[in-house]
Structure 1
Amino acid sequence: MAPNNANSPNIPYEPLPLTDFPRSSVFQDSPSLQPSGFDSPLPDRTSYADDSITNAPSPRFLAAALYQGDDPGNRGSYASQNTFGSVAPSAPGSSVYALNVHSGQPLRDDGPDSEQGPGTGTQSPLYLAEKHVAYAAPAAKSKRKLLLAGAALAAAVVVIAVVVPVYFTLVKPKSDAAASSTTTSNPASPSSTSGTGSPTAVTGGNGSKVTTEDGTTFIYSNPFGGFWYWDPNDPFNNNAQAQSWTPPLNQTFQFGVDRIFGVNLGGWLVTEPFMRVFLVPALYEKYQSTTPQAVDEWTLSEAMAADTASGGLSQLETHYQTFITEQDFAEIAGAGLNFVRIPVPYWAIETREGEPFLPKVSWTYFLKAVQWARKYGLRINLDFHALPGSQNGWNHSGKLGSINVLNGPMGYANAQRSLDYIRIFAEFISQPEYRDVVVMFGITNEPEAPTMGQGPLSRFYLLAYQYVRGASGIGAGNGPYVSFHDGFLGLNQWAGFLPNADRTALDDHPYLCFTTQSSAPMSSYAQTPCDTWSASFNTSMSAFGMTTAGEWSNAVTDCGLWVNGVGLGSRYEGTYPGSWPVVGNCTSWIDWQNWNASMKQDITNFALASMDALQNWFFWTWKIGNSSTTGIVEAPQWSYQLGLQNGWMPTDPRVASGTCANQNIWSPPLQAWQTGGAGAGQIPASVSSEYAWPPATISNAGAVTLLPSYTPTGTVATLPPPTFTVTSGKSAQTANAGDGWNNPSDTAGEMVGIATCSYLNPWIGPSASPPSPLCSSGAAARALPQPPVTPFPSRI
């Protein structure tokens, strides 16, 4: 082992499988900043005149263990086993196998190279280099032997010319990428299939041409040995691999060993004013002089619905279609990233009376994201970002205003409804067609635990966990990791939570920019993430288990248009509501077009330190749209894509390893039960009893028995699957894409209102009183509805 940092020669970090790379070894003293615990507090929560949001929490901007061990086992693509009702072999003999490397030697991922011996250069696969070593060079042959050899070669060419088209046209097997995650080569010559007489590429590596669903093309750039795979006649094939060091989708991602290098797709399926998505004119900027003024997706939806001349709410679908496309997924894999965290709102499932959101349409685009992630070997963390009633009152929860989940008179009913939606999402993503792509489920984004109380939130988390495991079953590979946000209480407050729970993760969102501002230059922040975050993440990986940073950014000030919300200014310039001193002018922090090489390197150093300190992370966010007013990105330190394009984000995230010198970065592995192994799912009865649902009281509302509640008698709003038409010879049929419900034993209804009871508006706020009487005399003595028991599924 060798150190990766010249300033820490005694730290035994594992060497990276890279050629030498330049690294800055100069780290200046970092400013003493405390991390923001509440991501942009608005102290009085009264910055808008609208009475409906008087009690609003502050709007805010969302924000090296290499693969080790032996082959963890290959999983054939689900479609290969089931689409046509037959089982295809898992593929050492498949067409994809020839594209992969099977040597135990490390793969170079720095592009084509001249032959330098075994294992060098992606254009000279390792299995060929092995043959050069294993077999001596042939001795000089006679002329007759050479002629015979030439004749044989010519005959072989003829055979290949006949057999290969027939093979790919008629008998191409549904194949697996059987190589281990560290030895898969970059397929320079993509395989093809021909169902109509014209060849169509189904896989390719660096430099290959990709044809998208709408017929447009682009060149795939991935210098890291990754390759894409998409065969429309095999739509659930999981052969693709993002990079050589990331296991392909048909192999297990070993949490705690394989590192998460992730990015958020913020502002796509849950819009935010800050994101100012790339439409002309941009979504929110267009509706700043309207009534209502667009400050969140609720008011944006109302303004759009009234704007029938521009297409009404259909403008949102135009946004879904254009803001994130397939090419973004290809670029993410080519940037060395292996995960995407996708915020999804409850209205992807349904809306109820009075809720103005565009219902169900965003789900269609999440399904596209699954397809694109599958194509490029990326894994997904589905993040439940916006709950009915709002879990934090911030604009990204759908409606800026009050907290109405586990808080206020509708806090219990909204929690019941939210748990239903968690169950519905879990049932869908646990199906075998999707579980190898959507491998993590963030069940609630940023709940305001200081308002709700950790006890009620813990009970909510346990029941949500039981719903997810009920949908998928216990044990590695059965459904997603369940990710709990720390609720702004700090990672240490969740140490030991739910011992022996099967595959749970803890999520923290460390930001520096939403607290006290500093005039210190960017160069002074080089080690701030190491000093601020390393220790807590190291401890949590041991005390809780899998711990991730679900959001972080390069921002060290709150500069940037609408970073804090529409019209709220910035702390840095002293224009944010409250008593904030003027620290400086924001121009230098957002004028990225004039940043010099030193500034870009300073931001890069901060990014590297953050990546190393956080260990498993999702940067917020992949892209920021151009402002329709200025035509440029006005929050540059929040865009990973912009940083790559302009030189302040590392082109390979692995180079971050070793940046946090002397920080004792956590070493794998996780405990067995934390990865679905022995003991997984055996939560002690005393713990289950301690966190039994429902809580006795709801914050700012009182006894739960005196509050409006729902009953499980409704029809479950299941999520529809995508539709794929596959062809075999002259016949066409629809591929089995699942029915949206993994556990057929779960037949409980959806939580809906009781006909004889009264309910408040789900977004009413904590100051309202419960209806009185709550129910008619015939229902007044009803028992509090209990959550349905969901048996573990038999489908594995």
Structure 2
Amino acid sequence: MASRANDYSPLPLAHEDNAPTSLYNAPRSQGPSGSSFSIPAVDRDGAPYTDEIGIPLGAQPRFLGQALYDDANADVRTSIATSHNMYPSSGRVSASTEDSIYNPYADGSYHDEPGFFVGEQPMRRSNKRRSAYASSKSRRKKRIFLGVGALILVLVVIGIVLYFTVFKKKSTSGNSGSSNTSSSNNTGSSPQSKVAIVTGGDGSTVTAEDGTTFTYTNPYGGNWYWDINDPFNNGARAQSWSPGLNETFNFGVDKIRGVNIGGWLVTEPFIVPGLYQTVQASAPSDIQVVDEHTLLQAGGQSALEDHYKTFITEQDFMQIAAAGLNFVRIPLGYWAIEVLDGEGFLPKTSWTYFLKAIQWARKYGLRINLDLHALPGSQNGWNHSGRLGSYNVLFGPMGIANAQRSLDYVRILAEFISQPEYKDIVVMFGITNEPQGTAITQNVLARYYLQAYNNVRLASGIGQGNGPFVSLHDGFLGTAQWKGFLPNSDRVSLDMHPYLCFQGQSADPITQRKDQPCDAWGAEFNNTMTSFGFVVAGEFSNAVVDCGLYVNGVGLGTRFEGTYHLDGDHPNLGDCATDWLDWEHWNDTTKAAYKTFAKSSMDALQNWFFWTWKIGNSTAGRVEAPHWSYQLGLQEGWMPTDPREAVGQCGNKSPFNGPLSAWQTGGAGAGAIPTDVSNALAWPPPSIVFAGGVTSPANALPTYAPAGSPMTLPGPAITPASGEPSATKSVDVGSGWANVHDTAGMMQPLQGCSYLDPWIGSSVSPPSPLCTNPAAARAAAMAESAPVVTERPLARR
């Protein structure tokens, strides 16, 4: 595992709660008169005090800072002592985002720093004129020198006391103030560095990672925060009503109002149709581009990388916070970690963009639900698992081996996000998206879930809120089937994806269906919060029919038009293009009905993530699945601009308002799963199901052995935006591994044993003989013949 760089302490912010939002707009300094702390005009003998060239010093203040605190109505200004800032040498400073503003320190006048230079000469309290007097006055001269010396000593003492008790204290208090600087090496003679603005509210100017600037627009009291010298500072807040990242999010009390960033790091044809259409246009004639696997087979690697760079940017994260949302759910494929030979996915590239997502979420106060969306072999056979076709996780001849690899990837991701640098941003972890539980069977899926849960808790430690909430999809089995699952487990939530559009189709317009979510989901979600624990709608949309380009897949048709036949025949109920997709011509009544439908969904689900934030244009230049785009709905007026408008839409007089039980939130009893439950759900399962309901004992199937070295994921490269000050501190981005005591090897093939393609299909028989090496065969049989109880995870040390 990689070693960590030197740690560092964050630079103090020069601000108070009522300070200006930028050091560029500090008020001008007070004048030198009127202070109760001043040097007398003359000494006791009537001789004027003068400076180095004989000019009388007059009533020049000796430490103006005290006067500022004596007079509550005085104009406050930030001193060099309190801010540690360095200013340009001209009389005015400028920034790319602000007009030039007066710099009170650049005109060669008084400064309240001991030893501060005026021009080329240091400011001193000396009197050379009196040194020219005759020797007959030596006793008077001695008294003068003693008096001046005593005065200087008093000044130094007062300056030191005020600096450490008032100004330094103020300069180091708080993290959410106005600004900071990139350096504090002020020598007094030649100010060098520009001020780096590190935070701001509505209307402030943000410098993006790529060096561009844009206006931060957030009417809900949020603030952004980014300091290259303190890149893991959690000073941002999405909205005034959402806990800041440096505060506790109380699950079950604070509401998750989130959106998925679908189609970005795991592509889907209906979310980014233009990408798929463009690659298809130049693909070999024998390849139909229907998923990410075929996209790459058709030569779409550079197109995919361009998509990563452009489809979602930093501004999207700002806009999500500005929409009143406080969470993002980000799908990630296993290929972000590794790809084995012949699997055909783009390895590790998407991970670098997930690291950007963490940085952007931190900058704008958003929390992340990391969703492991695609597993080796596919857990559901759908195009968004990376490869359309069969599903081979916990199902079929490679079902155990693929699950073993998947559990390794859960462990690797958990180790990364459980590190101190990331745990307050990535606070939920969906360990597997939409597994086909109805075919896999709940017993087998439950065993996998317990082992994955243990992998996460081994990385993060049990109790005290360590590590992320573990999110378990219901596997399409329904909430009732999971009642009482994993009692006393430490922070486990149930993930539901309630959609209306894939059920029975209806020609009823949206104006007649706007309250349907309340009836369909409200009571179920409310009851599940009590019977199971924390339940979240990880996906839902505004779609009530399955119309939309590629919504069901490329070339598969729609149920509404009677052209989709994979789940039986459906009658033709109309024309999608004119009845549902002509969003450019929706009238106010239609838009209002969609907005009411969205609010009904939000209120019924209580904690939710809309699917999805953005739908890209097709090559026709328009969005052709409008019901799925939160961003488009905001722009066109059919999504609520403030999601709090949804509260009470369903008329629920007793919604679940928490709190969750102590063990559900990492408190007392968290992690103490009863032994009989653990025994009943031991891993691996004794058998799994094949196509047609045939079962096979696990020890007759290909399995891996923990013989490989654990992999670690790299942290981000912290680099300044173009034109911005460079970092002055070394940054520890984490080693990639939260728990050094988690040392088990990664799963690898056994020498002498046979394995099938991970996507082989569930109707193929396992290899026979399974292993030609007798020793390996015996080891595999012993390892898999009887399930073992998973050890309780160690607390992080």
Indicate the TM-score class for this superposition, using the shorter chain for normalisation.
Answer: 0.7 to 0.9
Q: Which residue of 2 aligns with 1:136?
A: none
TM-score by length of 1: 0.77
Equivalent of 1:201 in 179, 192, 197: 197
Q: Render the CA deviation track for 1:175-231: whole Å, top value 9, x for unaligned.
A: 7558xxxxxxxx7xx424244622221101111111111111111111110000000
Q: Render the CA deviation track for 1:273-303: whole Å, top value 9, x for unaligned.
A: 1112565x85555467743111011111111
Q: Which residue of 2 aligns with 1:780?
A: 777
Distance 2:394 2:463 in 1: 30
* Structure 2 counterpart of 1:292, one-letter code: I
Offset of residue 718 of structure 1: 1.5
Aligned pair in 2 of structure 1 residues 612, 212: CA closer, same or farther (>3 Å)? Answer: same
Distance 1:151 1:259 in 2: 43
Q: Which residue of 1 aligns with 2:628?
A: 638
Distance 2:171 2:273 in 1: 42
Offset of residue 318 of structure 1: 1.0
Q: Which residue of 2 aligns with 1:492?
A: 480
Q: Which residue of 2 aligns with 1:127?
A: none
Distance 1:207 1:674 in 2: 40
Q: Render the CA deviation track for 1:631-669: whole Å, top value 9, x for unaligned.
A: 000011100000001100000000100001146322211
Instruction: Tell me, yes or no, if the aligned pair for 2:451 and 2:790 is still in contact at 8 Å.
Output: no
RMSD between aligned residues = 2.9
Instruction: Tell me, yes or no, if the aligned pair for 2:559 and 2:571 is still in contact at 8 Å.
Output: yes
Q: Which has the higher relative contact order, 1 or 2, with Cα contacts under 8 A spaced 6 or more apart?
A: 1
* Structure 2 counterpart of 1:754, one-letter code: L
* Structure 1 counterpart of 2:559, one-letter code: R
Aligned pair in 2 of structure 1 residues 161, 665: CA closer, same or farther (>3 Å)? Answer: same
Task: State yes or no: 1:253 paired with 2:171.
Answer: no
Task: State yes or no: 1:298 paired with 2:216.
Answer: no
Q: Which residue of 2 aligns with 1:307?
A: none
Aligned pair in 2 of structure 1 residues 162, 716: CA closer, same or farther (>3 Å)? Answer: closer
Equivalent of 1:717 in 708, 711, 715: 711
Q: Render the CA deviation track for 1:659-692: whole Å, top value 9, x for unaligned.
A: 0114632221111111111111110001001101
Instruction: Tell me, yes or no, if the aligned pair for 1:393 and 1:401 is still in contact at 8 Å.
Output: yes
Instruction: Tell me, yes or no, if the aligned pair for 1:756 and 1:779 is still in contact at 8 Å.
Output: yes
Aligned pair in 2 of structure 1 residues 626, 433: CA closer, same or farther (>3 Å)? Answer: same
Offset of residue 716 of structure 1: 2.1
* Structure 2 counterpart of 1:420, one-letter code: D
Task: State yes or no: 1:95 paired with 2:90.
Answer: no
Q: Render the CA deviation track for 1:612-639: whole Å, top value 9, x for unaligned.
A: 00000000000000111x1000011100
Distance 2:413 2:259 in 1: 21
Aligned pair in 2 of structure 1 residues 200, 731: CA closer, same or farther (>3 Å)? Answer: closer
Offset of residue 100 of structure 1: 12
Aligned pair in 2 of structure 1 residues 284, 394: CA closer, same or farther (>3 Å)? Answer: farther
Q: Render the CA deviation track for 1:320-362: whole Å, top value 9, x for unaligned.
A: 1100000000000000000000000000000012111000000
Q: Which residue of 2 aligns with 1:447?
A: 435
Q: Any residues of structure 2 matched to 1:647-658 within 5 Å, and which?
A: 647-658=637-648
Task: State yes or no: 1:588 paired with 2:579.
Answer: yes
Offset of residue 314 of structure 1: 2.6
Task: State yes or no: 1:166 paired with 2:156.
Answer: no
Task: State yes or no: 1:532 paired with 2:534.
Answer: no
Q: Which residue of 1 aligns with 2:164?
A: none
Aligned pair in 2 of structure 1 residues 99, 620: CA closer, same or farther (>3 Å)? Answer: farther
* Structure 2 counterpart of 1:347, one-letter code: W
Aligned pair in 2 of structure 1 residues 774, 655: CA closer, same or farther (>3 Å)? Answer: same
Distance 2:269 2:796 in 1: 44
Q: Which residue of 1 aligns with 2:701?
A: 707
Distance 2:311 2:86 in 1: 36
Task: State yes or no: 1:617 paired with 2:611.
Answer: no
Distance 2:715 2:775 in 1: 41
Distance 2:86 2:349 in 1: 37
Aligned pair in 2 of structure 1 residues 175, 480: CA closer, same or farther (>3 Å)? Answer: farther
SS at structure 1 position matched to 2:470? strand
Distance 2:516 2:653 in 1: 12
Offset of residue 405 of structure 1: 0.3
Distance 1:663 1:402 in 2: 45
Instruction: Tell me, yes or no, if the aligned pair for 1:742 and 1:793 is still in contact at 8 Å.
Output: no
Aligned pair in 2 of structure 1 residues 562, 192: CA closer, same or farther (>3 Å)? Answer: same
Q: Render the CA deviation track for 1:349-390: whole Å, top value 9, x for unaligned.
A: 000121110000000000000000000000000000000000
Offset of residue 794 of structure 1: 3.4
Residue correspondences, number? 647
* Structure 2 counterpart of 1:160, one-letter code: T
Distance 1:150 1:735 in 2: 37
Q: Which residue of 1 aligns with 2:589?
A: 598
Distance 1:198 1:720 in 2: 31
Q: Any residues of structure 2 matched to 1:339-488 within 5 Å, and which?
A: 339-488=327-476
* Structure 1 counterpart of 2:651, one-letter code: A
Offset of residue 734 of structure 1: 3.1
Q: Any residues of structure 2 matched to 1:662-741 within 5 Å, and which?
A: 662=652, 664-700=654-690, 701-724=695-718, 732-741=728-737
SS at structure 2 position matched to 1:401? coil
* Structure 1 counterpart of 2:424, one-letter code: D
SS at structure 2 position matched to 1:342? strand
* Structure 1 counterpart of 2:208, one-letter code: T
* Structure 2 counterpart of 1:95, one-letter code: H
Instruction: Tell me, yes or no, if the aligned pair for 1:175 and 1:239 is still in contact at 8 Å.
Output: no
Query: Which range is displaced more, 575-584 or 371-380?
Result: 575-584
* Structure 1 counterpart of 2:213, one-letter code: T
Distance 1:582 1:97 in 2: 63
Instruction: Tell me, yes or no, if the aligned pair for 1:716 and 1:750 is still in contact at 8 Å.
Output: yes
Q: Which residue of 2 aligns with 1:221?
A: 217
Offset of residue 88 of structure 1: 6.6
Instruction: Tell me, yes or no, if the aligned pair for 1:224 and 1:336 is still in contact at 8 Å.
Output: yes
* Structure 2 counterpart of 1:647, one-letter code: G
Distance 2:605 2:314 in 1: 28
Task: State yes or no: 1:743 paired with 2:661.
Answer: no
Distance 1:150 1:235 in 2: 34
Q: Which residue of 1 aligns with 2:502?
A: 514
Offset of residue 588 of structure 1: 2.8
Structure index of larger Rg: 2
TM-score by length of 2: 0.77
Distance 2:670 2:792 in 1: 18
Aligned pair in 2 of structure 1 residues 417, 788: CA closer, same or farther (>3 Å)? Answer: farther
Instruction: Tell me, yes or no, if the aligned pair for 1:419 and 1:464 is still in contact at 8 Å.
Output: yes
Where structure 1 has 5 or more consecutive residues not aligned to the other structure, the ranges are 1-81, 102-147, 179-186, 305-311
SS at structure 1 position matched to 2:84? helix
Instruction: Tell me, yes or no, if the aligned pair for 1:725 and 1:734 is still in contact at 8 Å.
Output: no
* Structure 2 counterpart of 1:599, one-letter code: T
Query: Which range is displaced more, 780-789 or 381-390?
Result: 780-789
Offset of residue 725 of structure 1: 5.9
SS at structure 2 position matched to 1:780? helix
Q: Which residue of 2 aligns with 1:627?
A: 618
Instruction: Tell me, yes or no, if the aligned pair for 1:608 and 1:655 is still in contact at 8 Å.
Output: yes
SS at structure 2 position matched to 1:262? strand
Equivalent of 2:558 in 558, 561, 570: 570
Offset of residue 317 of structure 1: 1.5
Instruction: Tell me, yes or no, if the aligned pair for 1:391 and 1:448 is still in contact at 8 Å.
Output: yes
Instruction: Tell me, yes or no, if the aligned pair for 1:242 and 1:336 is still in contact at 8 Å.
Output: yes
Instruction: Tell me, yes or no, if the aligned pair for 1:590 and 1:636 is still in contact at 8 Å.
Output: yes
Distance 1:724 1:730 in 2: 10
Distance 1:432 1:175 in 2: 22
Offset of residue 476 of structure 1: 3.3
* Structure 2 counterpart of 1:397, one-letter code: S
Offset of residue 163 of structure 1: 4.3
SS at structure 2 position matched to 1:344? strand
Q: Which residue of 2 aligns with 1:308?
A: none
Aligned pair in 2 of structure 1 residues 272, 99: CA closer, same or farther (>3 Å)? Answer: farther
Distance 1:174 1:626 in 2: 49
Aligned pair in 2 of structure 1 residues 678, 778: CA closer, same or farther (>3 Å)? Answer: closer
